Amino acid sequence: MPHPDSLASRFARLQRAARDDPNPDWAVRARRLRALDRLLLDNEQAFADAVRQDFGHRSPAETRLLELFPSHAAIRHASHHLRRWMRPQARSVSLWFQPGRAELRYQPLGAVGIIVPWNYPIFLAAAPLAAALAAGNRALVKMSELTPATAALFAERVGKYFADDELSVVEGDVGVAQEFSRLPFDHLLFTGSTAVGRQVMRAAADNLTPVTLELGGKSPAIIGPGLSTAQFAHAVERIIIGKSMNAGQTCIAPDYVLLPAGQEQAFIDVARRVVGDCYPDIERTADYTTIVDQRQYARLCAYLDEARAAGARVVDLAPGAVADPAARRLPPLALLDAGDELRVMQEEIFGPLLPLRPYRDLDAAIAFINSRPRPLALYYFDRAPANIERVLNETVAGGVTINDTILHIAQDDLPFGGVGPSGMGCYHGFEGFQTFSARKAVFRQSRLSAIGLFKPPYGALFERLTRILLR
């Protein structure tokens, strides 16, 4: 018999409860959403402290801004719209089946799994949970082993707000994550790298478990041609701020910049000013996040070493600041002349390194993006409506922010997800409710129906009716 705290036992409890109460009413779902909101509110400082401990350093203000605030927004958006989302939707009925009625009903899938990454361990647990609980599901959550303090806090506190057959939080290493992926969930949502996403999908396939994969990739920022000096400076500022949050450890951070040829030095000049304004004394400021662990820090340093050896130019965006390997503090750096063969141009960077790639015209910029795997996010800076429409129409990305970065993820009424290697499926808002719901098609037959005219034996009347039907 499995241990009562084993993965199998936890999942079995959730699954039994979901079968016993397959369609919780609005009041139950609303209570669970309030409990999730209260869990985060009551423990806000404890969560901020845990994240800071896990990263070595992250400002509590940044945790509130990037994790707690959007988590509360997602939960409250779902709470506000839940009654409407739960209502059956009337669908049209063709002439031949009237006066029957058709409708679509959303029902909970049952017991769902959520695998949380290390970079935003609070928000990337809470936002999927808001969708799953709104849809009426029970959930098992696997926290990242790279953020053990946050995982332990979440696992310890969740029992004060939820029954163990409503929501359960799991800690553990890669082996636990692999076992987790093999459980026969009714749906599994994974956020993380493309490489691990492939492994999760293979494991889930054995149970025919449907998956939502929120992955990553190389999200470009494009500075359009012909911007004024002020518009160009605004673009650089927003790119640098989007890149510097969480020290670039964000799945939708600008990964590289496409800018008009000849504007590289202007970009660097503005970027240095922005970094200086936002992070004075960056080696000691409390507002700049450190790299999460030594392995990630070493990976970023290896990118830099390879780029320098290949002739790329590495430019300090915080002149005079020195990297601190012991604290894993890495100031922002720009890279010029980084060839396509380099890892920094092939792999998602996930850190404060920013390659600059000049282009001769917008056609070339669009062609460059379209020659690469489709990104999770795309950012375009321009004031010309025709250029904006071109980029929107001629590129494919999971989400787009125009004249800023990151902000599309914070719009609760927009779906969030990737395309191809950057992801599969989406969530947030109503689309998240749909992702974690079974869509049941219902047809209600009327007492008055012509369908009896189409039963055997087929004869002349049937032939006349079908000829009319097919005209």
Residue 214's beta-bridge partner residues?
Answer: 191, 423
The amino acid that residue 380 corresponds to is Y
Q: Is the dihedral of CA 10, 16, 17, 18 positive or negative?
A: positive
Mean pLDDT, the chain, rounded, equals 96
In this structure, the strands spanning 353-359 and 211-214 are unpaired
Confidence of residue 267 (pLDDT cuts 50, 70, 90): very high
For residue 94, what pLDDT is reported?
86
For residue 1, what pLDDT is reported?
45
Over residues 17-32, the mean pLDDT reads 98
Residue showing tokens 């799991």: 170
Question: Helix, strand, coil shares of the chain as percentages rounded to 5?
Answer: 45, 20, 35
d(CA 127, CA 150): 16
Instruction: Supply the residues annotated as catalytic.
Output: 214, 251
Q: Six-digit token pair at 26? A: 């609005």
Residues above pLDDT 70, as percent of the chain: 99
For residue 208, what pLDDT is reported?
97
d(CA 124, CA 117): 7
d(CA 173, CA 176): 5
CB 412 within 8 A of CB 432: no
Kindly give, in sequence order, each residue whose CB lies less than 8 Å from that of residue 118, ignoring residues fewer than 6 positions away: 54, 144, 146, 147, 292
Over residues 162-182, the mean pLDDT reads 96
SS3 state of residue 362? helix
For residue 212, what pLDDT is reported?
98
54 membership: H or E segment, kind and range: helix 44-55
Residue 223's beta-bridge partner residues?
Answer: 381
Cα 68 to Cα 259, 362, 411, 458, distances in angstroms? 34, 38, 15, 66
446 CB-side CA count, 13 A: 12
| Burial bucket for residue 331 (CB in 10 Å: 0-12, 13-18, 19+) | buried
Q: Select from 213, 215, 185 the least CA-distant residue to 201.
A: 213
For residue 86, what pLDDT is reported?
98
Confidence of residue 452 (pLDDT cuts 50, 70, 90): confident
pLDDT over 80 at 90, yes or no: yes
Confidence of residue 3 (pLDDT cuts 50, 70, 90): low
For residue 459, what pLDDT is reported?
87
Residues above pLDDT 90, as percent of the chain: 92
For residue 469, what pLDDT is reported?
75
Our separate counts of H helices and E strands in the chain read: 17, 18
For residue 315, what pLDDT is reported?
97
pLDDT tens string 364-376: 999 999 999 999 9
pLDDT tens string 108-125: 999 999 999 999 999 999
pLDDT tens string 371-417: 999 999 999 999 999 999 999 999 999 999 999 999 999 999 999 99
* pTM score of the predicted model: 0.95
